[in-house]
Structure 1
Amino acid sequence: MRISTLAAVMAAALLLTACVTPYARKGWTGGYTDEKIDENHYRVRFDGNGHTSSDRVWYLWLYRCAELTKEKGYTHFTVRKPGEPLASGPAAGPGAYERQPAAHADAGQEPPRLVKTKGGGAPIFIYSPGYTVTTWHNDAVVALFREPLPEAVLLLNAQAVLDQLGPYVQSDGKAAPLARDEVLRNAATLVRPERGYTFGGEL
Structure 2
Amino acid sequence: MTRTFVAGAALIALAACASPTPYQQAGTPGGYGFEQSQIEYDRYRISFSGNSLTDRDTVETYLLYRAAELTLENGYDYFWVTERATDEDTRRYGTGPDYYGPWRARGFFVNYRYYHPAHGWYGWDDPFWNPRHYREVTRYEANAEIVLGRGPAPDERAAFDARDVLENLGPDIVRPAPDA
Q: Report the number of matched residues.
A: 134
- Contact 2:67–2:146 under 8 Å retained in 1: yes
Instruction: Determine the structure 1 residue equivalent to 2:163.
Output: 159
* Cα drift, residue 141 of structure 1: 0.6
Q: Which has the higher contact order (CA 8 A, sep 6+)?
A: 2
Where does 1:2-13 land on structure 2 (aligned, <5 Å)?
none
Change in 2 beyond 3 A, CA 1:107/1:170: closer
After superposition, give the CA deviation of every residue in 1:59-82 in whole Å (9 maximum; x if it has no partner): 11110010110011111101122x
Displacement of 1:131 in angstroms is 2.9
Partner of 1:53: 55
- From 19, 42, 45, the equivalent of 1:43 is 45
Unaligned runs of 5+ in 1: 1-9, 82-100, 116-125, 173-203
Q: Per-residue displacement from partner, 1:144-198 (whole Å, max 9, x unpaired)?
A: 0114x697765210001001011221578xxxxxxxxxxxxxxxxxxxxxxxxxx
Q: Provide closer, same or farther for how the CA distance between residues 68 and 59 of structure 1 changes in structure 2, counting only shifts above 3 A.
A: same
Cα deviation, residue 57, structure 1: 0.8
Q: SS of the residue aligned with 2:169?
A: helix
> What residue is the counterpart of 1:144 in the other structure?
148
User: Secondary structure at 2:21's aligned position in 1?
Assistant: coil
SS in 1 for 2:173: helix
3-state secondary structure, aligned to 1:137 = strand
Q: List runs of 5+ in structure 2 lacking aligned partners.
A: 1-9, 99-129
The match for 1:133 among 137, 140, 148 is 137
Taking only the aligned residue pairs, the percentage that are identical comes to 32
Show CA shifts across 1:98-134 (max 9, x none). xxx353311134476879xxxxxxxxxx986653210
- Shifted more, 163-172 versus 46-55: the winner is 163-172
Query: TM-score, normalised to structure 1's length?
Result: 0.54
- For the residues of structure 1 that align with 2:95 and 2:86, how far apart are their CA atoms? 28
Structure 2 residue matching 1:159: 3-state secondary structure: helix
Task: Return the match for 1:106 from 66, 73, 89.
Answer: 89
Which amino acid in structure 1 is aligned with residue 56 of structure 2? S
Give the equivalent residue in structure 2 for 1:196: none
Stretch of structure 1 that moved more, 39-48 or 149-158 = 149-158
Please state whether the residue corresponding to 1:68 is helix, strand or coil: helix
Distance 2:134 2:13 in 1: 18
What residue identity is the alignment partner of 1:65?
A: A
CA-atom RMSD in angstroms = 3.4
With normalisation by structure 2, the TM-score equals 0.61
